[in-house]
Each structure stands twice: as structure tokens, then as C-alpha cells.
Chain A
Amino acid sequence: MFPSAENVYSGPDAAGFFGAYGGRFVPETVIPALEELTEAFEAALEDSEFTGELEDLRHDYIGRHTPMYRAKRLAEAVGLGAVYLKREDLCHTGAHKINNTIGQCLLAKRMGKKRVIAETGAGQHGVATATAATLMGLECAVFMGVEDIRRQSLNVYKMKLLGAEVIPVAEGTGTLADAVTAALRHWVERVDDTFYVLGSAVGPHPYPLMVREFQSVIGLEIIDQCGARGVDRLDAVVACVGGGSNAIGTFYPFVLGASVNGSGVLGRPLLVGAEAAGLGVDTDKTGASMTKGSPGVMHGFYSYLLQDDAGNPLEAYSISAGLDYPGVGPEHAHFKDEGLVRYEPVTDAEALAAFEQLTRTEGIIPAIESSHALALLPRLAAELGPDAVVVVTLSGRGDKDIDIVREAGLGVD
């Protein structure tokens, strides 16, 4: 069921390309900063003081290892043998985003930076950046589209409580893609004193690599936890993909050929990414860049992109503010082309149904982003059979989305 990939995968190359995708397509002004960042990141990973501090913060501050919970009632409801939820929703600040921001802010501090900026869609990355910046005594500004500020007012308030400046972005649709553009534009102006904490596995090299390294803790823990509890068979691993940070962290160790205790008993599970179809891939209200997009350059990297005939990036749409981004991380594009990971679109309606199902079977309220991944479970049950064992990365919790699901009419009789 999984294509044979005996060669150990490694990427990116020195220029930041994963196969054809990635690179560094940005104004010259920030190229030296990206070169400096690449060197600093590589040196930090070699430095036991840095990795030790990161490990301590992961354990004592983020709350890792996050549990891997066996959701029996959900498994029964979707018709699978076993469903395990990798509980990134139990991380401090409520999502996997903190894994990355703690890493990048620690790096910013190490590089002597006093100020960080970030962009945010749903607000989780903004809250996580504001949190990490506060912890490390860094000044913080977060760019956020005006539409997302409206949709995610609770997270906006949290960022302000944490002492961050929230900068509204009114250009375009006032959503995540516009916030990324505004943050990159600002970075070009303040590159001499500002560290850009990028929130997903996108952007110019070394960001996709760096985000993958900080998020791979998710997949590595899944493998350890399968070993520790005697899970000797894993048929599929599922995660949602917007930019793709929780998914790259989940998938990467498996793509590398990971196995439990080196025995290989887990084999290579099917890896499936759920991307946001919005109202459907046959409509123009979609965020499914891999299903409906084509290769192009945006925000400094080359990857699958929703674009018009003239090469202008299109507006993405999803009910989830974290997934309505017209591009996807370059390593995912490479995985798709190589057949290493399968990507499937999930509509708003399917995600809402999965949201409701997890809430009602397990008493866990998931983020709408994560609900896209949960929506693939019935499809996998039909494909893999009733005995199949599946792990889903529950990337975040749903508190931030309560107003959206309320507007959608869930839980209201």
C-alpha cells in the first residue's frame, strides 16, 4: 500500500530545494539574513547547550511528551480497529505551534536579536510566538489579517495580554496569505534588528527545514509511544495540511524510514495529508493547493500554488483560518510528486461533521484544522478495513473555533 522507498530520504539540498521545490525567492535585502539564519540554525543544532535547553523547555514548559490517546469510541464510530490521537492539543497554548516558536525564539535569543515578528491566521501561531517571546524577553509584533482578527478575537486578546503588538492587515482578503506578505514586507524594512518567526513549513530556505526540525518531535514521539505500548502494526498516519507544519513533523520521521526500536515492525504506514477543500475542489472557494493548484512561486518559495492564468496567487478559502492559505510547504509538494505521502481534500462540511463526532464520542473538542484530518478516518476505514490501526495528529484544540462552529449551527437543536 505504500510505495517502496528504500533510500533514506534527505532534503533539502544546499540551495534549499526538496526535489524541484523550495528555494529562496526573495528580495536581495533579506538574502544575507537568510544565510546568517541558516548558519546559526545549523550551529545551534550541533550545540548541546542549545539542544539541551530546547529539550528542557519541551518537557517542562510545552508539556512534552504529549500523550498518544487510544480513542475507542471514535474508532468504533468510524469503523476502524484502533485510532490513536497524538495530542498536540495538550501542548501549552493549545496547539503544535509552540514546538516551532520555542525553537525559533530560542534561536533568535542565541543570535542576539531583541525583537521578533510573526504572521498568524487562526491566531495559534501568534499566541505561540507571543508566548515564546515573553518567555525569552523578546519584543514581539504579530501581523494578522482583519478578517482573521474578526474570526479569532479570543486569540487576538491573548496576544495582547502577552504583551505583543497585533498589527492588522487590511490588504487583499485580510487573511493568512496577506499577513505573510505584510510580515515579509516588514522584515525587509527591519531585517537588521528583527527575527522573523515563520509559522509553517513554508517560506524561503531555511524556514521549511527549520520548521520541520522543530516539529519532527511529533512523529518521533509517535514512534516511541507505539513502541512503548506494544503497537506493532500501524496502517496509516494522518495529519491536516495548510502550510503543513504539523504534518511535516508527523510524517518526516516515517518518510525517513523510522521503525519501532529499530525492529522495523511498524513498517511504512500509509501517510495521508488532509488539505482544506473549503466548499469543494470543483468550486472557487477552496484551499486545496495540491489537488487544485500548480507549481509556482509565492512568499519566497516554489511549491504547489492556487494561481490564475497570469500567475497571480488566488485567494484561498476554508472555514478554518489556519488552512486558508493558497500554497503548501515545498517538502509536501515533493512528497506528493514522489508518491511518499497522499494528499486528499476535505470540505468544510466534512470537517464540521468530524469535529462534532470527536466531541460527542470522546469529549475532546478539536481545532477545525485537526477536524480535517479526523474527517479522513471513515474513508480510511473503507479502504483499509475494520482492523486497521491509524494515528491522527490532533494538531490543536478547538476553543478558538467555538464561535465559528456556533455560527455553523453545531450543537444547536
Chain B
Amino acid sequence: MTSRLQAAFSAERASLVAYVMGGYPTREGSLAALHALADAGADVIELGIPYSDPLADGPVIREAADEARAAAGEAGFGLAETIDLAREFAEQRAAMPTGSPTPPFVLMGYLNPLMRMGLPKAAAAMREADVAGVIVPDLPPDMAGPWLAASAGIDTVFLAAPTSTPERLAKVGTMSGGFVYCVSSLGVTGERAELPPELADLVARVKASTELPVAVGFGVSTAAQAAAVAAVADGVVVGSAIVRRQRDADELRAFVAELAESVRSAR
């Protein structure tokens, strides 16, 4: 069965997965950013959950998370607030004129806030907010049993890495939902001047291990890089380069529109 998230990818062209940080620079600012992403043509929206120890993220996303948490005052901005943000966004899109694009949502965050809220409770809140999937970088498939048992109806997107063995790629490929997130290179998220030359080989290996679409992220930061990735993958994930423009809705909208155009016309 094709999930809502999987349906956001097509065989004809690559899709743009655009990441913004929840609550950054403020709650209202991030809500405006979500609309900008949808209007500018993002096919999937990845919404970051601010966390104090984001092991897989580079400086841009770490600092945005810190600022989001600080801006919300004593209570902080965390998983509950991010789900609530997603819910409000979905409601606002539903109230808009027919034809307004509303891309499916993927929440990106770390495991401990999910555990702290309680896995069944977190999953129920996400379903209620129309969240299509989650990406949890510190939850490899081997450790995901309790979450998968609690999260029926929500796709869990697992990561494939350049270091993954064929056995692990097979596990990631069969256990993922929605799509497989292929990490372009070793290291944390963040903009890189160049993508690794062996990326096409890596994507081919990941594609061979799954029936799902394969989206590539980590380091993709310009329209030209996005086009190059779109030529070999089903999706392109852009995070830090978007978050860096998240304070200014107009600049953000223009940048995401440029990314979307280059991803779509890449092949």
C-alpha cells in the first residue's frame, strides 16, 4: 500500500524535501516558514523538533534549535509544541481555497523527547496533527521495535549511510516507511562545498535495497547541487541552507522556489 508520504514522490521527477526548524526564530515565524515552503513548491515538509543535544546536526540547525527553545521562555519549545505547530498548519491549509498545495509532513527529532512524552501518546498526538512520518536519527532499525509498535499509521523513515553494509541496507530498506533517507556523506548535517563523487553509486546501492523512494540529504545546499542529486535520486533533502534563510519569509520563499525548480527540471 502506498502511504501518503510515499505518494509525494513520483517516477517522472525528483521531489524536494524541505526542512525548517519548529519554533525558530519564533513560533509565528516558523508557521510562516511552513506556508512559504508549501507555496514555493516543496513536495514534502520536514519539520525539526528543537532539542538540546542534536547528535546528527551541524551548527546551523543546532543554533536554530537553541534559539527556538530560548525564544519560548521557561517552558521551552519541544516535541509537544512542534506537533501543535504542525496541527495548526494543517488546519490553516485545509481552510485555504481548493488547490493550495499541502505537502505531507515529516517530523525530524531525537528519541528522548518521544520517550519522555511516552511513545503511544506521542504517536497519537502526531496522528491527530496529520503528521505523515518521522525521522529519528538516533533510532536505528534494530532499536525501533517499541516505537514501530506504537506508531501505526505513521511512516518511520530510517537512514542509510555510506558506511552501511549490504545487510544493514537491506534492513533499512525493508523497515523504512514513506521513503529511505540516504545520508550523502559521513558527518553531521550542514552545507558542504562539494558532494562526494561516489554519491551516485551509494544511491544505486540504496535503491537496490528497497522498493521505496530514496531521498538524499546532508550537505545539499545550492540549486546546482540539488539538481545534481535529483538526477540520481528520487528526492533531495535540503536543511541547513533553508534554515539559514528561515528568518526572512521572502528570501526563504524565493530560495525554496529556486530549489524546487531545479529539482524538477533535473531530468
Contacts and interface: CB of A to CB of B under 8 A. Distances in A.
Contact of B78 (A23, A295, A310): A310
A29 interface: yes
A297 B115 contact: yes
A27 B116 contact: no
A211 B154 CA distance: 38
Contact of A24 (B110, B142, B159, B172): B142
A110 interface: no
B163 A30 contact: yes
Contact of B186 (A25, A181, A191, A305): A191
B166 to A, nearest CB: 11
Given A24-B142, A26-B55, A310-B76, A191 B163 contact: yes
B98 interface: no
Contact of A28 (B111, B113, B168): B168
B52 A313 contact: yes
A28 B160 contact: yes
Given A189-B187, A311-B117, A26 B51 contact: no
Contacts of B168: 28, 31-32
B162 A29 contact: yes
How extensive is the interface on chain A, given as a class?
35 or more
Contact of B163 (A23, A33, A184, A295): A33
Nearest to B162: A29
Nearest to B79: A310
A31 B140 contact: yes
A53 interface: no
A188 B111 contact: no
Contact of B188 (A189, A192, A300): A189
Contacts of A25: 111, 138-140, 143
A298 interface: yes
Q: Is the interface of A mostly helix, strand, loop or mixed?
A: mixed
A33 B80 CA distance: 34
A26 B159 CA distance: 11
Contacts of A308: 76
Contact of A297 (B52, B69, B112, B159): B112
B161 interface: yes
A168 interface: no
Contacts of A310: 76, 78-80, 113, 116
A26 B112 CA distance: 12
B164 interface: yes
Interface string B105-123: 0000011111111000000
B89 interface: no
Contacts of A299: 53, 55
Contact of A311 (B55, B115, B137, B161): B115
Contact of A298 (B53, B56, B114): B53
Contacts of A27: 55-56, 137-138, 140, 159, 161, 183
Interface in B120-138: 137-138
Contact of A26 (B114, B140, B162, B188): B140
A391 to B, nearest CB: 36
Interface string A297-315: 1111000010111111100
B186 A192 contact: yes
Contacts of A23: 143
B117 to A, nearest CB: 7
Interface string A138-174: 0000000000000000000000000000000001100
Contacts of A172: 52
B158 interface: yes
Contacts of B114: 311
B165 interface: yes
B142 A309 contact: no
B186 A188 contact: yes
B79 A26 contact: no
A311 B137 CA distance: 16
Given A310-B116, A312-B53, A28 B172 contact: yes
Nearest to B56: A27
A1 interface: no
A360 interface: no
Contacts of B183: 27-29
Contacts of B160: 28
6 contacts: A28-B168, A29-B183, A31-B164, A32-B168, A307-B116, A311-B51
Counting from the closest, the 3 A-B pairs by CB-CB distance are: A311-B116, A310-B78, A311-B113
Given A31-B163, A311-B78, 20 more contacts: A24-B143, A25-B111, A27-B56, A27-B161, A27-B183, A28-B158, A28-B172, A29-B159, A31-B140, A31-B164, A32-B164, A172-B52, A189-B188, A295-B115, A298-B53, A308-B76, A310-B78, A310-B80, A311-B116, A312-B53
